[in-house]
Every structure is written in structure tokens, then in C-alpha cells.
Structure 1
Amino acid sequence: MDAEKRRAVILDALDEHFREVGLAGMTMAAIARRAGMSKQTLYGLFQDRDTLFDAYIERRFVRCAPVPDLPEDGSFAVRLRKLFMIDEPGNRWDLPIALFRLAIAEAQQHPRLSRRCLEEGPRNKQAMVRAEIERACARGELQVEDPAAAATLLLDMLHMPVIEALIQTDEHPCKQAPKARFELGLRVFLNGIS
């Protein structure tokens, strides 16, 4: 088995093991056992737990973040809807949220994980939304003086409140809630900006 395949097996094992024991039981030894590999193999690929979590976050964002083919002639709203189809909650919601909790609670002890969550999550989305706002302004669809500030505001309007997801450990949003929030936020933004 090559290194990439081993990485994939380990990251899958991390996901599965978390669902059984939570973050508290996420030792390198337990993950290696779950993956059917030695600790030496695990440490050969990931120097520590932070590196392992960092790789998981990277894989999670890479799987979620491929920018879809956006219609060239699509309106701002059409393009934004297509861009955010990636945000539908999946059945593997718990571990990413737990890692965000860890990144917040232990930012001083896990600065790399905290930075990664911030850069790959909100800041990456802000850049994509800002680019769409700038594009819409260039096409005459929107008139926005500060696309960066507008992108930050719009993201807050489109997403379910993150604080609830971080605090309510036993509840998941229903599939309709994020879509309803997205549509309401987009409608309010477009009515307010025009």
C-alpha cells in the first residue's frame, strides 16, 4: 500500500473512531489500531496528533471546496447558489465541528489547527464571495463600495449561526434550515444593497 492510500485509510479510521469515542479517545495508538497499522507507520506519516488533525481538516476542505463550474452568464444570485451547494450538511458533521471546538478552546496549544480552520474555512469563503461581488460590480449587477466588507457581511447572513453548532453537541441542523437561511440572507442582502 502506498503512502497516499495509507493516509486515506488512517483519515477514514480517524473519522470512524471519533464517532465511537469522541475527541477524548483520539490517541495516536487508538487511531493506528483502528486503521490496522502500527504506531510507527502512523508516526511515519503524521508526526503528531496536530499534524493528523491538520491533514483531516485539509482533506475535509479539499472534498468540500472544489469550486463548481459557475455559469459565465449567470446572475450573482445564481452563481452564489451554485457556489454554496458545497455547504449542505452531510452525515459526517460531528468531527469537523469537534475540531473547530478544539481549535477555539485550545488555540494557544494548537495554533496550527486554529490557523488552518480559520484560513481554510471563513477566510477562503470570504475570498470566493468577494470575487463574486467584484465580478457582479464589474457587470453592473451590484454597486458595492467595499467588496471585502460586503463579503464578510453576506457570509454572516447566509450561514446558520456557528455558535449554536459549537455549543449544541447533540443537535444537527435539518437539511432545510441552512437552505432557508441562505435564501433569506441572500434576499435581504440583495434588497439592502440595491
Structure 2
Amino acid sequence: MAITKARASGGSAVSKAPRGRGRPQARSDDETRAVILDAARHEFASAGYATTNMESVARRAGVSTRTLYRLIPNKSALFEATITDRLDRFASVVRLKACEGSDIEAALCAALIACGELILDSEVIAIQRMILGESEQFPEIADTFYSKAIKRTESTLANWLKAQVKRGLIEIENAEVAAGMLLGMLVFQPQRAVMFGHAPAPDRNEVERRAQVATGLFLRGCAREPT
């Protein structure tokens, strides 16, 4: 047993417990992966696919390349993960926009706002611009974006429409075609304006306005009722 001895001066020594130097709590792999994917989206959008590499993404994310390679094996998988991660969150939001009551107009408008906030996001548009510029050299990135982003966005909205058909709130022949038409009406004009440098990405208010107009046209059309 260790005994604390008195100091030579005769005073009693006071034994102090050692101070803990606790380490900062480490992030989980899921949290680290989210930080990496956010950094990768910025890197791909600003630098392009050819210039972006695993080391530059690791630097932007503030992680070691060893950690990055442990979680995501290569640049191709990293690019795909940035697309699917964003779409996973989008699909969850749209599923939550299910119409609980009979107000199909409010429910559809909310679902379209979620679509618009995804498709008309300035970073998403920048990635599309990058893909168009580099798809000849890297055709796999165009295939990935088409299948994992464009088609999945359409199918997510189509599945939402099918759910409303089953509930008897709307009647449409082909949900996939209707979803494509709705998305085109919602985003085509502002998306092209941004891609060609003629306008900034629309803000939340503009996305909401377009969603309301698209909802009204879809549900009621624009034919003038006879007087």
C-alpha cells in the first residue's frame, strides 16, 4: 500500500487525484461517412470528376485517407454514394408527405416541394453540369446519375402517386408518365436557366410557388369552365 509521506518541513502532504484528460468522443462510422459524402459533393461540384481524388476529399472532410478508404473503397463508389445518400433522404421525406386526410392538393404540393428542393439545389445542378461536360471521358458517371438519381426521383414520385390512386384521391392511367410530366413542369425551365448561367438557383419561395402552380395544373387542368 502506498503511503503519502509528510514533507520535510513537517507539513502534511495532500494527496490529489490525478486529473483525467478525457479524449474527445470519437465520431461513429455513420457520422464520419456523412461528413465524407458532404465533402465529396462539394468537391465533385466545384472541381469536377477528373480532378477530384480520394486525397482531396479526405482533406476537405478532415479525415485521414486511411479512414476514407476503409469506409469507401474508390472514387467511383464515392461518387455513387454521394448520389444515393442524397436520394435516400429525399425518398424518406416524400414518403412522409403521404396524404393523411382528403386534402390531396396540399399533400401533392408538399411532395413536389421536396422534389424541387432536391432537383433545383445549386450543388445538384452543378454536378449535372459536370456530368454533361465529362460524360464522354467517364460514361459511368452519367449512367450512375441517370439510374440512381433521375430514374429514382421519378419512381419515388410515381410510387407516391400510386398510393393516392389506391386511396381513391386521384385517377391516372400511368403513374410513371404522370410523375415525369409533373417533374418536367416543376423544374425544367429554372433548371436549364441555371445550367446555362442565365439565373441563380431558385430559392425556397420560388420552389413553393412553382409547386403550387404545378399542383393546380395537374389536378384541375387549365381549361376554362363554361359560363
Q: TM-score range by the shorter chain?
A: 0.7 to 0.9
User: 1:118: which partner in 2?
Assistant: 146
**Residue 176 (structure 1) aligned to one of 205, 209, 213:** 205
The number of aligned residues is: 191
Task: Name which one, 1 or 2, has greater alpha-carbon Rg.
Answer: 2
Alpha carbon RMSD of aligned pairs, Å?
A: 3.3
The within-5 A match list for 1:114-153 is 114-138=142-166, 140-153=168-181
Q: Which has the higher helix share?
A: 1
The within-5 A match list for 1:48-127 is 48-66=74-92, 67-87=95-115, 89=117, 93-127=121-155
- Segments of structure 1 that go 5 or more residues without pairing to the other structure are none
User: 2:9: which partner in 1?
Assistant: none
Identity of aligned pairs, percent? 25
Give the TM-score taking structure 1 as reference length: 0.75
TM-superposed deviation, 1:54: 1.6
| Distance of 2:36 and 2:164 partners within structure 1 | 42
Q: Which amino acid aligns with 1:98?
A: A
Higher RCO (CA-CA < 8 Å; seq separation 6+): 2
**Structure 1 outlier segments of 4+, above 4 Å:** 15-19, 135-141
Give the TM-score taking structure 2 as reference length: 0.66
Pair 1:185-2:211 in alignment: no
- Segments of structure 2 that go 5 or more residues without pairing to the other structure are 1-25
CA contact (8 A) 1:76 1:132 kept: no
Instruction: Give secondary structure in 1 for the equivalent of 2:101.
Output: coil
User: 1:165: which partner in 2?
Assistant: 194
Q: Which amino acid aligns with 2:213?
A: L
CA contact (8 A) 2:97 2:107 kept: no
**Residue 47 (structure 2) aligned to one of 5, 15, 23:** 23
